[in-house]
Chains A and B, each alone.
Chain A
Amino acid sequence: MEWIEIFDISIFRSLLRSTAPIAIVGMAAALCSAAGVLNIGLEGKMLNAAFAGVYASYTFESVWAGFTAGIIAGLLTAALFGLLSFTLGADEVLAGLAINIFSLAGTTYLMRTIFGQAGFFSDPRIVGFEPISISFLEGTFLQPFLSDFTYSIYLMFFIAISLHIMYYRTRLGTAIRATGENPEAAEDAGINTVRIKWLVTVFSGFLAGISGLFLSLENLTMFTEGMSAGKGYIGLVASSFGNNTPFGTFGASLFFGLGDAIGIRLQGVYELDSRLILMIPYALTVVVLILIGIRQRLRIRPVPISES
């Protein structure tokens, strides 16, 4: 098989599938970072949403029950983060870490006690999201590019565009950016920075919830212990690489998604060790962090003395 054959339409679709959870949680991270909140707890929010989604979908045999429960779980976890960080004044990093550890242990415990299963839980009663087929594209050449994706893929684009408009064209957006860059200036302008931080935190819970649900109710309909697998952290790196802007974060997430998609494809072609493939996103994270470091260095370009 030739290299070129790896890049076909299925890799494009696989790319978007791999990108979506990272991009959505990454934009949550970007929004928080833009407002000066270092939200490490996104990982836990995803995991709780993934679990709650599976639980409610299984119990009520309804995907929308799962969706509602997942979003609520994401919001509640976000509220816990806000309570710890803003109301009680805990260190944001520690609060986020605490939430992640608690969520991993909590969902594992609940899965074992509720479902009596260890490792993973899968059941035909769990209803997942079906792909959306766009009827007017049927039969056209656009169909494989645009149709038959699950919700979060379409949502990903919608969120990126809406956030971009919000950032640069609304009072809320400028208030968020001012809060992150110079809180005193924001306060001086009559902006309640604590309220802004709460707002982005709660909204990040919503986005992380969507991202978590994508994991457990879209392509797979199951819950696995620790199934967020560091995507919340990767999202943070993507937002940092994307300068905490929606489009920048989306672009950086595509990079992670591409690595993932190529890895999956190579696995089929070369029969590589699957554990090696699973490592790709994490290896890419390190690569991106190095790139961020290099970029920061390049930004500071000493003026040559001779020019003066």
Chain B
Amino acid sequence: MSKDSIIHLKNITKEYPGVVANKNVDFQVNKGEIHALVGENGAGKSTLMKILYGIEQPTQGEIFINGEKQIISKVESAINLGIGMVHQEFTLVPSFTAPENIGLGQEPKNNQGLIDWKGLNKLVVDIAEKYGFKVDPGLKMIDASVGVQQRTEILKTLYRNANILILDEPTAVLTPQETDELFTVIRTLVDEGKTVIFITHKLREVMEIADRVTVMRAGEVQGVSEIKNTSISELASQMVGREVFLQVKKDEAKPGEEILNVEDLWVHDARGLLAVKGINLSINKGEIVGVAGVEGNGQSEFVEALTGLRKTSQGSIKYLGEDIASSSPKNIRRKKIAHIPEDRTNTGLNTQLSIWENLIGNSYFRRPLSTRGIFNLKKIAEHSNKLKEDFDIRAPNISLKVKSLSGGNQQKVVVARELSEDPVLTIASQPTRGVDIGNIEAIHEQLVQMRDEGGAVLLVSAELDEVMAVADRVAVMYEGQIVKWVNPKEVDQAQMGLYMAGIKE
């Protein structure tokens, strides 16, 4: 086995001030295999891969590539060693075409030293054909679908002669069908002699595509297994250190009167394109309505329209009988509509401010937190400390800046603030993104509790498991429309995948 070892990270430790991201990690990949690296957010997978790709330097430990010890001090060295990485956030230049992006920095030159664009286009098309995918050399990335962008990223590594491809959470933004296509590409790559490292936290995908798997938790390796000798539940318990329940415990919903009624809603996005195309939806007291779908199908614009962050172009949003379409966010909040935004760091929080300042963002103006425009710091501290306690925000004190909290605790600050004002309607968009499993459960329980106390909840999430487990009714969004309403108990993942890809019945 060891003679086939293409990568061996030996005894890697990486310390940041106050945090140990990797602790004595041993990670070994064989030539020609698909090796999954799994773990929760913050388990140290990304740090380990950054070390392999030369973005970070290990505090301690050695790297062996093809049996030879290497020091990878910068990305260029990693590329020269035949390592390529497709990041979770694509690194593409939007106004450049696929070949322009793929060739960037290493464009072929003609005799005059100028870039040979024709030669580059041909080169790119040839590589794409070899691995069985198509590429449109004239298409700018800004106009390309997520799947095409991802394939461009993969081609970029192949253009640079990568033999080892690191794919960081590649399926996070794909439909189940696009995921299948990606898996076909990955298998072709391996058939052509490449080695693939597949980072994910989706265990079902690990079982489907990988040959071997390394599980990490809290910066340490928990286990390495052959796929044929392991199971989802074994991997899951290694990942979180305990048995997980993907099920959310909840009783049957008891819907009451109608709270929100959206009728024929049309919304334009920032580029002036139609993002929401005639949505009809109603939410009743005491129920959680889910919106499933691959990201970028109008969910963001839909939520922005509901919360007053975006003007509507047509249709009505009736809340307790009153039309709130194109009303201001402040007005909408005053009517007890809470919003947990999808982008925690930019929309949900001011990360430069303290926990307490963030916690009173929606209530600072009311008594007793302030009187005649002056804060009552004592009352604010009481209020904030109570929320910190109730929502289990793990921080030494409430004066700490939010940016120093972990993603999960940051999200708890948002959730605590939003649920603290007894909302009638709660709009939760990707509420558990970047949150670890323990905290995901807590947030799900809070949403169910809101429901049981008579609140109405709209849950928009790209995590299919989440929507299916938490919501009572689910709308599937595709290209700005609701293509299907489902009862989450009566439909399976495969069917949902088809709906999410816009294939009805």
Contacts and interface: CB of A to CB of B under 8 A. Distances in A.
Interface of A: 165, 169-171, 174-175, 177-178, 181-182, 184-191, 300-303, 305, 308
User: 6 nearest interchain CB pairs?
Assistant: A189-B105, A185-B91, A300-B272, A189-B104, A188-B91, A169-B114
Nearest to B271: A300
B190 interface: no
Given A170-B115, A174-B104, A185-B101, A302 B268 contact: yes
Contact of B93 (A165, A182, A302): A182
Contact of A190 (B79, B109, B114, B270): B79
B94 interface: yes
B105 A191 contact: yes
A308 B75 contact: no
Contacts of B270: 300
A185 B75 contact: no
Q: Main secondary structure on chain B at its contact with chain A?
A: loop
A187 B74 CA distance: 10
20 contacts: A174-B100, A177-B95, A181-B93, A182-B94, A184-B89, A185-B91, A185-B93, A185-B101, A189-B156, A190-B76, A190-B105, A191-B105, A300-B270, A300-B272, A301-B272, A302-B313, A303-B273, A305-B277, A308-B277, A308-B278
B113 interface: yes
A303 B271 CA distance: 9
Contact of A189 (B106, B109, B114, B277): B106
Contacts of B94: 181-182
A165 B114 contact: yes
Given A169-B114, A303-B268, A305-B266, A190 B93 contact: no
B76 A178 contact: no
B75 A305 contact: no
B104 A178 contact: yes
B92 A182 contact: yes
B93 A178 contact: yes
B107 interface: yes
B135 to A, nearest CB: 17
Contacts of A169: 114-115
A303 B272 contact: yes
Given A185-B92, A190-B75, A303-B268, A175 B274 contact: no
B275 to A, nearest CB: 10
B272 A302 contact: yes
Contacts of A185: 91-93, 101, 104
Interface in B219-271: 266, 268, 270-271
B64 interface: no
A191 B104 contact: yes
A171 B92 contact: no
A140 B262 CA distance: 75
B364 interface: no
B80 to A, nearest CB: 9
Nearest to A177: B93
Contacts of A303: 268, 272-274
A179 to B, nearest CB: 9
Contacts of A189: 91, 104-106, 156
A184 B91 contact: yes
A185 B104 CA distance: 9
A186 B94 CA distance: 12
Given A186-B93, A186-B104, 9 more contacts: A170-B113, A177-B93, A182-B94, A185-B92, A185-B93, A300-B270, A300-B271, A302-B313, A303-B274
Contacts of A178: 93, 96, 104-105
A178 B95 CA distance: 9
A231 B307 CA distance: 45
Given A174-B107, A178-B93, A190-B79, A308 B114 contact: no
A108 B272 CA distance: 50
Q: Which of A165, A177, A182 has the most CB of B within 10 A?
A: A182
A187 B113 contact: no
